[in-house]
Structure 1
Amino acid sequence: MLKKLLYTTLFALSLISCSDTLDDINKNPNATETPLAPYLLTGTLKQGADLYWGSTNNFDSSLLFVQHWAKIQYTEPDRYDVSNTSFTTLWNTGYSTLITDLNTILNFSNEQANSNYKGIALTLRSWTFLLLTDAYGSIPYKDAGQKVTPTYNTQKEVYTGLLEDLKKAQSLLATANGAVTGDLVYKGDILKWKKLVNSLRLRIALRISDKEPALAKQAAIDATSDGAGVLSSNADTFQFIYTSSPQQNPASAWFETRDDYRISKTLVDKLYALSDPRLPVYAQLPSDASVGKYVGGANGLSNSDANSQGFAKTSKPGKYFLTSTSPAVIASYSETLFNLSEAVARGYIAGDAEQLYKSAITASLNQFGITDATTISTYLNQTTVKYDATNYAKSIGEQKWIAFYGQGLDAFVEWRRLDYPVLTAGPATVLDGKIPSRFFYPGTEQSLNGSSYQAAIAVQGKDLLTTKLWFDAK
């Protein structure tokens, strides 16, 4: 009996020892057991930039929809021949990585993260939710990160909630509230973060302007009257600066091994028509020197027709965008000036809409290295560029579309919202001559969060690329 008891005890001890050993073996030696706010902030900024500028959400979808880029082979995305597995990256990374990590910072004690970390986290979380609702429409917002099967909030609820979140973020940010490290964008400059917050508030004010003009006006007033101000120079532009491989700009990484995109013929033709000095920045001359001019690729062609345009006879996106260190611009000074111009044109705030429009174009030209005063003046004084007060949406919409080159997700929103420029779907597209108005929800939402998904589309409309979102439904 004693012998049996000893065997049993030794066996139990061996199991415990084995379990401890397996626990040690299965630990990730590179993982941080207690995540730190600076590391989470650094990771969020890098992953957010990759998400915004990466292939799935940018040059394989939104840049094609707004006809900044075109496919010269494998043209299915350019023909809108896609499925509910095509747009999962924005959703999955947005929720499981960005929002999760930012919520971790927000839930830290004051000892783990001062209020500036939390203000920055709330700002970045608001930006992430904004990307999600702009692309999909109704999304999990209030329940996100709180429930396994979160309910969806309508786009109106999300936008209005984000205005409140950004107001709170502004109250958390102050130079006296402690230092911030891990900030690869503003290097801990809290005054610049406060400007970004107000610029995002102004951005959202215009998102809701056609549906909730009274609320939009108040939001625009709040954003522009706040003492911190809005982005006030190109030095304030919110952008992630990449380095060398493997931390390079996603477009640069793509073109190292692939060659299936060209600048769109729609954009090249427009830039030629306006004698726009940004054309040599936005595009490369074809590798066939005999062509001697910039040639865009047509959007929405069959694979054979796209190929037949000639790889050597069409223009790749400009080298500026295909270098390792090309910045991922997320909120530019130019955009803020365009938004101020529109807010004035709508009667929301006081100011000179035409001068702000000119300043916005100038800021964009400067952003891309065009600083010669004569060149800028000549461009601005063209009849085709001058501000039209009787149709501000056309003037701002067309120039904003040009200035947003490379920023597909936001260019896609502004094109839908302002309805300019007028774009035409390519000949081989599959949506009966329509251009997409949104992204599909990921297919996993139907299987893993079916009740919430069904409730959302019952209100918003069918889960189709052509279903117009709340802000866009005229």
Structure 2
Amino acid sequence: MKNITYIFIVTFLFISGSCTDNFVELNENPSQIDDESLKQDFNNVGAFYPPMLKNLFGDQIEHNLSHDSWVRHLATPTVFVGGINNTTYYITWNTYWNRIYDQIMSPAAQVTKVAQAEDYPVFVEWAKLIKVLGMHRLTAYHGPVIYTKFGQEPATYDSEPVLYNAFFTQLDEVQAVFAANQDYTGLGKFDASYGGSIPQWQKLINSVRLRLAMRLSKVDPALAQLQGEKAISDPAGLITTNTDNFLISLYGGIFPPYRISFGWGDTRMSASMESILVGYKDARISKFFDPATDDTLYPDHPDFPYKGIRNGAELVAKGDRLTYSNISSDFENVENRRFFTAAETHFLLAEAALRGWAGSGNAQDNYEMGVSLSFEDWGAGSAAAYLADNTSTPINYDDPKASGAVNDFVSRITSTVAWDEAADNEAKLEKIITQKWIDGYTNSIEAWVDHRRTDYPKLPFNYKNDSNAEWGIIPADGFLRRQVFVQSQRENNAASVAEATSFLGGPDEIGTRLWWDTGGPNF
């Protein structure tokens, strides 16, 4: 009996001990994702990247009611805030700042720490590049921004010279790591733009460098040429074909301007688009916009059934202009947004050639290639006849829903599409930037930069100008130059905002020019 009892006790202890050894394993949820499984295929870092990329673009307030209107790409029929708002130069909305800091800068800081701890240098540099992509857009709004000291206290701003030098240095750093890891495949499942292709990202790096260099071409010509030629000569190349285009996935979401236009009825074709596209008989018009739904709106050009709204128009009721041209209904099915295209590269190279930058090629060849690539990208057919047109010019605009001359304008553009090699550089640049403006449709931040930097295209001024001493006064024959610093910064970071304002060289107002917006001749 004692032996039986002993055997029982030993057996019990053995079994219970074995059960205890496996207790944690047996009680784990087999569907639960643990830290180790997250590390497989870089899931612990990769999930940060798609949301950051998506938030390079904003929504209605950040785009449609801001730079889309200021650069005359799209206009609103809606009488927001009694008709006194951003579009009439009274600052009502100012939210792009929060999007960039909350959805790009903050998560980039988090994922960088993880990637550094795990020794994933390519992911570290990818986050750095995305920060440059976001912040080079935000500085186009405000000028000085918080960047090199982001996350530190106090949150101090960089002047624009410091900021652009930081951009160029960081592009160097990213390019060096990417060049050493061209066969790296770790980005693949998180990269809806290039499928993880490092050589494609390298082309984007060089192309963005060229874009930033051109921004500085008037304020710091030596630095601009140095960086521009560096971008042109880099062996990784530039975005030069439409298969190289950098597109941001919508990740299954709806194209925001489509929702704004068809869902809310808050945006329509601009009068400037009507004037320029109809005047030039531009085949891209049907890819950009739907015809107006009222065939009495365009008696002066019945062969082009499109109608736009003047930016800064005097509006009475939203319903008055809902029959004007909507954005193209084809945008319902798009899966991505254009961020950088081959057409932009060739327009940049055309301007670089005018400025004598080494390796930029011939200005006319690049101009015509830029237009041709734009037509191809938008599915508008051949650009050959269009490029040969040396007579058509933008038309004057009449608003049939307003009495008399209200909202009307006479086009200030007399330039034709066809290249004129005998013209001076200003006339050539006007052609380049006007075509670059057209191609920038749905991605208009850089078009707004170019317009302030060069004064091209020669767009109409606001009909209704509600600027005042609160946010700054824009002259009747002028344009809004920048967005003011956000109110939360003014209230909670006043000392740093005061220093940032001193960097501007003028007041924190909408009429103060940014560093690269020098005014005067372009050459």
Q: Does the alignment reach a TM-score above 0.5? A: yes
On the 8 A contact 1:242/1:326 being kept in 2, the answer is yes
User: What does the per-residue CA deviation read over 1:5-50, in whole Å, with 9 as the maximum and x for residues that have no partner?
Assistant: xxxxxxxxxxxxxxxxxxxxxxxx999999822101122122224x
On the 8 A contact 2:347/2:366 being kept in 1, the answer is yes
Structure-to-structure mapping, 1:41-440, within 5 angstroms: 41-49=49-57, 51=58, 54-74=59-79, 75=83, 76-83=85-92, 86-88=93-95, 90-109=96-115, 112=118, 114-145=120-151, 147-173=152-178, 174-180=181-187, 181-242=189-250, 244=252, 247-289=253-295, 291=297, 293-304=305-316, 307=318, 309-312=320-323, 314-321=324-331, 323-350=332-359, 351-372=361-382, 376-383=383-390, 384-388=416-420, 390=424, 391=426, 392-431=428-467, 432-433=475-476, 434-440=478-484
User: Per chain length, whose mean CA-contact separation is higher, i.e. which structure has more relative contact order (CA < 8 Å, sep 6+)?
Assistant: 1
2:397 aligns with: none
On the 8 A contact 1:37/1:113 being kept in 2, the answer is no
Q: 1:455 aligns with which of 495, 499, 502?
A: 499
1:23 aligns with: none
Letter in 2 for 1:393: L
1:16 aligns with: none
User: What does the per-residue CA deviation read over 1:65-108, in whole Å, with 9 as the maximum and x for residues that have no partner?
Assistant: 0111111122433212224xx112x2112112201222233333
On the 8 A contact 2:313/2:463 being kept in 1, the answer is yes
Specify the SS of the correspondent of 1:473. coil
Q: Distance in 1 between matches of 2:114 and 2:355?
A: 41
Q: Distance in 2 between matches of 1:171 and 1:252?
A: 39
Letter in 1 for 2:202: K
Q: Distance in 2 between matches of 1:330 and 1:31?
A: 36
Dislocated runs of 4+, deviation >6 Å: 29-35
**Worse-superposed segment, 63-72 or 458-467:** 458-467
Q: Distance in 2 between matches of 1:149 and 1:91?
A: 18
Q: Distance in 1 between matches of 2:479 and 2:330?
A: 28
Specify the SS of the correspondent of 2:193. coil
1:21 aligns with: none
Letter in 2 for 1:471: W
On the 8 A contact 2:246/2:341 being kept in 1, the answer is yes
Give % identity. Answer: 25
Q: 1:469 aligns with which of 490, 510, 514?
A: 514
Q: Distance in 2 between matches of 1:463 and 1:405?
A: 29
How far did residue 271 of structure 1 move? 0.8
2:409 aligns with: none
Q: Distance in 2 between matches of 1:342 and 1:255?
A: 34
Letter in 1 for 2:313: L
Specify the SS of the correspondent of 1:240. strand
How far did residue 109 of structure 1 move? 4.4
On the 8 A contact 2:240/2:343 being kept in 1, the answer is no
Higher percent of residues as helix:
1
On the 8 A contact 1:45/1:184 being kept in 2, the answer is no
Give the length in aligned residue pairs.
431
How far did residue 110 of structure 1 move? 5.0
How far did residue 191 of structure 1 move? 0.7
Q: Distance in 2 between matches of 1:99 and 1:207?
A: 23
**Residues 1:437 and 1:253: Cα distance change in structure 2 (over 3 Å):** same
How far did residue 325 of structure 1 move? 2.3
On the 8 A contact 1:243/1:325 being kept in 2, the answer is no
How far did residue 178 of structure 1 move? 4.8
Instruction: Please say which structure displays the higher CA radius of gyration.
Output: 2
**Worse-superposed segment, 184-193 or 117-126:** 117-126
Specify the SS of the correspondent of 2:161. helix
Q: Distance in 2 between matches of 1:151 and 1:416?
A: 26
Q: Which runs of 5+ in 1 are unaligned?
A: 1-28
How far did residue 122 of structure 1 move? 1.6
User: What does the per-residue CA deviation read over 1:237-264, in whole Å, with 9 as the maximum and x for residues that have no partner?
Assistant: 11123365xx121112323431122111
**Residues 1:320 and 1:415: Cα distance change in structure 2 (over 3 Å):** farther
Letter in 2 for 1:470: W
Q: Which runs of 5+ in 2 are unaligned?
A: 1-31, 391-415, 468-474
Let me know the Cα RMSD of the aligned residues: 2.3
How far did residue 290 of structure 1 move? 5.2
Letter in 2 for 1:155: E
On the 8 A contact 1:114/1:178 being kept in 2, the answer is no
